[in-house]
Amino acid sequence: MMNSKRLALGLLTTSLCAFNVDAFWRMTCGLIQTGRMDPVVFPGQISPHVHKFSGASNVNLTETYENLQASECTSCEIGADRSLYWTPQLYYQHADGTFEEVPNGGTVVYYLGRGENRTGIQPFPPGFKMVSGDPSLRSNDTTTMTYNDPSKNIAGRLVSDRVSFACLDSSGGLPEQNYMFRTDCDEGMRAQIHFPSCWNGQDFEADGSHVAYMSQIDNGVCPPTHPIPLIHLFFEMYYDVNNIKKDGGSFVFAQGDPTGFGFHGDFINGWDQTVLQDAIEQCVNNDSLNGVISQCPPLAKSQTPYASVNCPERQAIVNEQVKGTLSQLPGCNPVTPGPARAAMQSCPDYMTPSFNYIPDLGPAAMLDPVVGQKLGGSSWAFAGCANEASSARVLNGPSSSSVNMTIEACTTSCKSNGYPFAGLENSKECYCGNSLAPSAMANCTIPKMICAGNNTEWCGAPSFLTVWNDTSLTAATPLVVGSTRISNNSAVYAGCFSDPGGNSRALLGASNVDTVGMTNEVCVAFCQSKGYTIAGTEYSQECYCSNANTGTTIMDVTRCDSICKGDPRELCGSSGKMSVWNITQAQTGTPPPVTKPVPAVANGTASYVGCYTEISGRTLDKASYSSDTMSVDSCASFCQSKNYALFGVEYAQQCYCSNTIKSPSAVSAESQCSMACKGDPTQTCGGSSKLSIWNNTLFAPTHNVASVNGRQYAYLGCYTEGTNGRALGALSSATKSDSTTNKQMTIELCGSYCASKGFKYMGVEYGTECYCNNDGLVNGASKASETDCSMTCPGDHREWCGAGSRLSVYKAPGA
């Protein structure tokens, strides 16, 4: 993809005059049609070569002002402009002789206040047509000049300078030329063309004699024969040449021009004349405008940044393949390098393509609801618009995306899942949720995208939702950590927790699934009956029990947002996330099965899990030690001091810690864990390749949250170290990085260090190491499994501090 910064590159470096160049407006125009059409030079006929069109959707072989004005939409960002702009398609000729279109997203069109008579500039008349450039040129025309009168000190310029090419290369700027002088450009190639700005007041002439260039093309004086100054028109086209250039081929324009001398452009005026007149009067001579449409009131009224989405490229009018891999240039144009002018070519009659009838139905009647307005006869009412948060979604329930997205499809999906809010975003995305925070509400009058499946409906915009509320549903009751109680006050809400990752569960005891009737109360009752002290619901229908919670705290509790299958007013976790409840009044029931008595451990701070098989790589694979004085209590103290959720003793004298039991370890017969502990013969310390595993009931769930100087750092995830440098290193000498180590490292300590140095990204690695930069993840770093970042921070065992060659990475607000 081409770098977006190109659209902001400086304009008109070819100008030879010292006139002020700040008075202009610039708009981007997406593609609207590609094919062998040219309604100016070849009206009603098939053009000899392929053009790419931008602008009015009602493009056809023959055009009138009335036809353009009646268009459904325009692919240009000013809706009042229903003009058409077109240039020849650029192809790449491979070494084998085949042709492939070069990617080009559309046209950047400039309207400039130029010339010595700037205050007298006139708008284009309705349906005004003109052409710039000569498609047959294959070498520089060094004789044809613009208006030139030495007696009046008016210097002319070569007309061929109307065309220019810029090679956008990171190695440095190269002087522009009026031909394709270089195509090895790592940031793309830009083609540019100026149009005549002087008019004689007459209708269109096929030879272009009704218009003339100013003396300096992009500035200067109009000739006496063409005294009426028009606003100056200028096109830029960006071609992604480096992503297609390969195998020793070359670039060629659709008319068989490998030089670029024959580059050309066409224009038909379809502007709302009042808007164009007002924009010329108010903006074209306003030198402070600097190209910004939003600063020109007549233009800003119909400006939208989403024109290419709201008015996408139409089906081809000419039924002929012009994209993909071609055996020859459409229109039978041979590649003619010149220097002589190229003769116009034509195909045999039997190769004449047919036409596709593509009716344009005119401007759509948009559904533009007010708050409270119902959707048809349904129970869904428009709730307004909302800005998407940078760290968490406004509606964080189930989501979907479809090229056929409509309001009806989104609301139906959310209703079927029991959610009362449905939000549409980015034309084709649908999000469901239980509530809509007032703080997220936004102004609905800003530009929006049409729905991908219905061009009469609005479906939000990037990071912007149009939201609907099902008035027949009652929103789920929010859960408050430490306050919300259920099951006759016997269970209190502990929060939203994520599973450790992989196949591991945060709650390792009994489990149950109820696809119809699951609620938090049902889950608590199930776990109480099994003698467990913790219950958790997940993914609407799943229930898990345990005596220790090895999950990671999710500070944003709204991420546990799945509607319980048994009660749409309750939330039962989400995918990979659990709504966890601490059971404060356990019912009398059958405790987890244990086949032999086990001793009390560390004053009752651990509960026995069972006898498990050892595996290659260790069942409990984190901290460990061995001692001739080993006991269950000493192993418990060791692993508890490091805040591990599980510990296990093996072979009479070995102690292991972890937060998960690794697969494929499995429960073994208790008789296999029968070795007496070397430090306490009254206790059992596993067996040969068998572990006696315990839950640490003092375990404090590890979290990935950093608050530094009152600012919440956002957790990005676990990442690998870079392959050719540090993951949080510097991309160049212009951007720096830093690092530090501390035997008492915490996430907050690292964040404070990086923030004090002005860095936006920070990461902790190998327990004690801290890294910072402003470039984010570089040098080939890639996302890793969350279970890879498994070292607790030595300064706070409730936090993860990466692991060997693994970083827990965070970004500062606004990064």
With CA atoms as reference, report the closest residue to 516 among 548, 553, 541. Answer: 541
With CA atoms as reference, report the closest residue to 659 among 625, 690, 622, 633. Answer: 622
Q: Would the pLDDT of 13 be above 50?
A: no
pLDDT at 418: 80
Buried b (16+ CB within 10 A) or exposed e, 204-226: eeeebebbbbbbbbbbbbbbeeb
Q: Tell me the pTM.
A: 0.64
What is the DSSP code string of 598-658? Answer: ----GGGTEEEEEEEE--TT-SS-S-EEE-TT--HHHHHHHHHHTT-SEEEEETTTEEEEE
Q: What is the mean pLDDT of residues 110-128?
A: 93
With CA atoms as reference, report the closest residue to 324 among 105, 106, 102. Answer: 102
Cβ–Cβ under 8 Å, residues 453 and 404: yes
How far is the C-alpha of 76 from the C-alpha of 107, rounded, in Å?
9
What is the DSSP code string of 322-371? Answer: -SSEESS-TTT------SSPPPP----GGG--EE-------S---B-PPT
Q: Is 582 exposed, middle or buried (0-12, 13-18, 19+ CB in 10 A)?
A: middle
Q: What is the mean pLDDT of residues 215-236?
A: 96
What are the Cα distances from residue 350, in Å, to 46, 99, 346, 347, 609?
14, 22, 11, 8, 82
What are the Cα distances from residue 394, in Å, to 110, 400, 437?
38, 15, 8
The two beta strands, 106-112 and 99-101, are unpaired
How sure is the predictor about 4, in pLDDT bands with cuts at 50, 70 and 90?
A: very low
Element (H or E) spanning 751, and its range? helix 747-756
Cβ–Cβ under 8 Å, residues 256 and 340: no
Of 248-262, 422-436, 487-501, where does the model show the most confidence? 248-262
Q: What is the tens place of the pLDDT at every residue in 759-783?
A: 889 999 998 999 999 888 998 899 8
Q: What is the tens place of the pLDDT at every residue in 627-643?
A: 999 999 999 988 888 77
116 vs 561, residue with greater confidence: 116
- Identify the CATH class of 602-696: alpha beta
Mean pLDDT rounded to a whole number for the chain: 87
How far is the C-alpha of 533 from the C-alpha of 537, rounded, in Å?
14
Cβ–Cβ under 8 Å, residues 806 and 784: yes
Computed over its alpha carbons, how large is the radius of gyration of the chain? 35
How far is the C-alpha of 813 from the C-alpha of 390, rounded, in Å?
9
How far is the C-alpha of 763 from the C-alpha of 739, rounded, in Å?
9
Q: What is the tens place of the pLDDT at every residue in 361-378?
A: 788 889 999 999 999 889
How far is the C-alpha of 694 from the C-alpha of 691, rounded, in Å?
9
Element (H or E) spanning 749, and its range? helix 747-756
How far is the C-alpha of 547 from the C-alpha of 533, rounded, in Å?
5
pLDDT at 571: 87
How far is the C-alpha of 568 from the C-alpha of 566, rounded, in Å?
7
Q: What is the 3-state secondary structure (H, E, C) of 437-494?
A: CHHHEECCCCCCCEECCEEEEECCECCEEEEEEECCCCCCCCCCCCCCEECCCCEEEE
Lowest mean pLDDT among 181-190, 221-230, 256-265, 471-480: 471-480
Q: Hey, how many other C-beta atoms are within 10 angstroms of the C-beta on 144?
A: 10
Identity of residue 815? A
Cis bond before residue 664 (omega within 30° of 0) = yes
Q: Would the pLDDT of 214 be above 60?
A: yes
Phi-psi region of 271 (alpha: psi -120 to 50; beta: other; left: phi over 0): beta
Give SS3 for 706: strand
* φ, ψ for residue 308, nearest 5 deg: -70, -25
743 vs 99, residue with greater confidence: 99
Q: Is 329 exposed, middle or buried (0-12, 13-18, 19+ CB in 10 A)?
A: buried
Element (H or E) spanning 753, and its range? helix 747-756
Cβ–Cβ under 8 Å, residues 219 and 15: yes
Q: Would the pLDDT of 725 be above 90?
A: no
pLDDT at 597: 43
How sure is the predictor about 730, in pLDDT bands with cuts at 50, 70 and 90?
A: confident
Q: Would the pLDDT of 20 be above 70?
A: no
Identity of residue 348? P
How sure is the predictor about 585, in pLDDT bands with cuts at 50, 70 and 90?
A: low
pLDDT at 590: 43
* φ, ψ for residue 357, nearest 5 deg: -85, 110
Question: E strands of 38-125, at which residues?
Answer: 51-55, 84-88, 90-93, 99-101, 106-112
pLDDT at 501: 67
> What is the CA angle 467-79-440, rounded to 5?
25
Of 221-225, 614-618, 745-749, where does the model show the most confidence? 221-225
Q: What is the mean pLDDT of residues 704-714?
A: 65
| Spans of all domains in the chain | 23-326, 380-470, 485-583, 602-696, 706-811
